[in-house]
Chain A
Amino acid sequence: MLKSWDTNLLSSEKKTLFSFFLLYLFFVLILLFILGYLYYNFQKDLVLQKYRIELNRLANEQVFRLKRLHRNFDKQRVYPRDKRFESAIYDSSFKKIFSTFKNSKIDFNRVIYIKNKKVYYIKELESYYLGTKYLVLQVDEDDSWVDRALKNMLLSGVVIFFIMMVFGYFLLWLMLKPMRDAIELLDRFIKDTTHELNTPINAIMSNIEMLERANLDEKVVKKIKRIDIAARTVSNLYQDLTYLTLGHKIVSYDEMVDLKKLLCERLEYFSLFSKSKKIKIKTELKEGVFLKIDIKKVTKLIDNLLSNAIKYNRVSGNIKVTLANNFIEIADSGMGIPQEKLKFITKRYTRANESVGGFGIGLNIVMMIANEYDLKVEITSKEGEWTKVKVFW
């Protein structure tokens, strides 16, 4: 495999992955929340259960005292107290008979509950001593269990979260495997093919150069020119594909490049191509503009812009190439790019116009190179009239 798979994913695919991941994260968090909630309530029930047993025992003791008081009420009228709890007695109409604590509202629908850090236990009597139907016990809540439960929840929450994340990553990996395999296959295919293309193209181009054109018939020269253009187009494509498949692995050799010299050279290289479409090229190139950059890459960048300007131009159109201190601008009088497509035009496999051939990889390569060297690319266009590409630094 040439490249790590993630660099091969298009940004729209990355977006899909990202939303999948967010969704997954969302569900994991919800799951954790529900688990936490259940665990907390379970612990609370457990604690209440313990209180319940203990408080029931105490309540029985208190009932016994009430019974004694009821029997001797003509002689003894002191409400029995116990220092382990506070208590209150209510009759069957929930009217308070006596209470040792200050709390107004008792929830008689429940047997045991916690409110304001106090545990309330309500016992219903079978015999209503002193008219008491409900005996309410109140004790301070020992809430150390909350801390313990929260600590446990946090710890196991983190552990489960990590496990789920690892699981999610694995899931993602499984999901992506077919896609990754396809991309890898394509990459390998392109690499192999391009390699096989290189030799024949070079043979064609060098042999055309070696032809003695002076001795040839006008018609034959014209045909040879056409062959030359076709060979160069294929050669460009070959280079683009190599760049895409090997791009990130190519080590840059940066040097001071004379941009005017380079632009003239490339215009010369494309001249056959442009002449065949009767395109007039105007230049406004400043002397002595240098850029520290890998010559192969900047050549690739310029070639792509020029070839686009020619390819998408109309017959007998114009191209204007400008070089200034901090920018190169290539303007054409072509079909332009629709406004809504401008945003996506730099993406791989996007073409402004389906009627013209091409893979839609040209501007993608331009962007890759520009990004590597911190160059800014500004594309403006008026549909049906012109397109301007400005690269500045």
Chain B
Amino acid sequence: MDKSKSVLVVTIFIFMMVKSFASSIYEKNCLSCHSKMPVKIDKFFYRYLLKYSSEMRVKEALVDYLKNPKKEKSVLQEELLARFGVKKPTTLNDKELKEAVDEYWEIYKVFDKLKGTPKNP
């Protein structure tokens, strides 16, 4: 192994270390699992929004479900739930979970995302 190659490997390793360190709990925990699923995580978000409306209530419901998933509390359709099976309770502690949910909200919330059209001339 020549020197330059090992330098590259070390650089990549450090780079990956830094990246994984810099990436958030949400990306590490939630996305790592969800990105493999055929239904994207944003669909789940908008289902929560549809059912719970305000930021506070959406977050409450999310935390509640993730900590203690139950068939009756799920917002998924029966077929989907049957296909995936009810998920396991989260391994994150309360603080980490809150951070993850907050980020989840920030990414998909509707506020400031809607565009107005100029008034009809």
**A130 an interface residue at 8 Å Cβ cutoff?**
yes
- Bound together, the chains give a CA A73 to CA B53 distance in angstroms of 15
Per a CB cutoff under 8 Å, which of A93, A100, A127, A128 touches B116? A100
Contact present for A98 and B116 (CB under 8 Å): yes
Contact present for A79 and B115 (CB under 8 Å): yes
**B65 an interface residue at 8 Å Cβ cutoff?**
no
CB neighbours (8 Å) of A97 from chain B are 110-111, 114
Number of A residues whose C-beta is below 8 Å from B? 22
**A152 an interface residue at 8 Å Cβ cutoff?**
no
- Bound together, the chains give a CA A95 to CA B57 distance in angstroms of 13
Contact present for B114 and A128 (CB under 8 Å): no
Binds A, one of B2-10, B26-34, B44-52: B44-52
Contact present for A127 and B113 (CB under 8 Å): no
Are A128 and B42 CB-contacts (below 8 A) given A77-B113, A97-B114, A98-B114?
no
Are A74 and B116 CB-contacts (below 8 A) given A91-B54, A128-B53?
no
- Bound together, the chains give a CA A81 to CA B57 distance in angstroms of 28
Question: Which residues of chain B in 68-109 are interfacial with respect to chain A, using CB atoms and an 8 Å cutoff?
Answer: none
CB neighbours (8 Å) of A130 from chain B are 46, 49, 110, 114
Interface size class of B (residues with CB under 8 A): 20 to 34
B46, chain A: closest CB distance, angstroms: 6
CB neighbours (8 Å) of B49 from chain A are 128, 130-131
CB neighbours (8 Å) of A91 from chain B are 53-55
Contact present for B50 and A133 (CB under 8 Å): no
Per a CB cutoff under 8 Å, which of B50, B115, B117, B119 touches A128? B50
**B18 an interface residue at 8 Å Cβ cutoff?**
no
**A266 an interface residue at 8 Å Cβ cutoff?**
no
**B56 an interface residue at 8 Å Cβ cutoff?**
yes
Interface centre among B51, B58, B114, by most chain A C-beta atoms within 10 angstroms, is B114
**B23 an interface residue at 8 Å Cβ cutoff?**
no
Contact present for B42 and A93 (CB under 8 Å): no
CB neighbours (8 Å) of A127 from chain B are 50-51
- Bound together, the chains give a CA A130 to CA B50 distance in angstroms of 6
**A83 an interface residue at 8 Å Cβ cutoff?**
yes
CB neighbours (8 Å) of A131 from chain B are 49-50, 52-54, 58, 110
Q: Mark A71-108, 1 if CB is under 8 A from B, else 0.
A: 00110011101010000000111010110100000000
CB neighbours (8 Å) of A129 from chain B are 50
- Minimum CB distance partner of A130 in chain B: B110
- Bound together, the chains give a CA A130 to CA B115 distance in angstroms of 13
CB neighbours (8 Å) of A93 from chain B are 53-57
Q: Mark A221-233, 1 if CB is under 8 A from B, else 0.
A: 0000000000000
**A320 an interface residue at 8 Å Cβ cutoff?**
no
CB neighbours (8 Å) of B110 from chain A are 73, 97-98, 130-131
Contact present for A92 and B53 (CB under 8 Å): yes
- Bound together, the chains give a CA A15 to CA B115 distance in angstroms of 76
CB neighbours (8 Å) of B54 from chain A are 91-93, 95, 131, 133
CB neighbours (8 Å) of B58 from chain A are 131
Known: A77-B115, A79-B114, A92-B52. 12 other contacts (CB 8 A): A70-B46, A70-B50, A73-B46, A78-B114, A81-B116, A81-B119, A91-B54, A92-B53, A93-B56, A95-B111, A97-B114, A128-B51
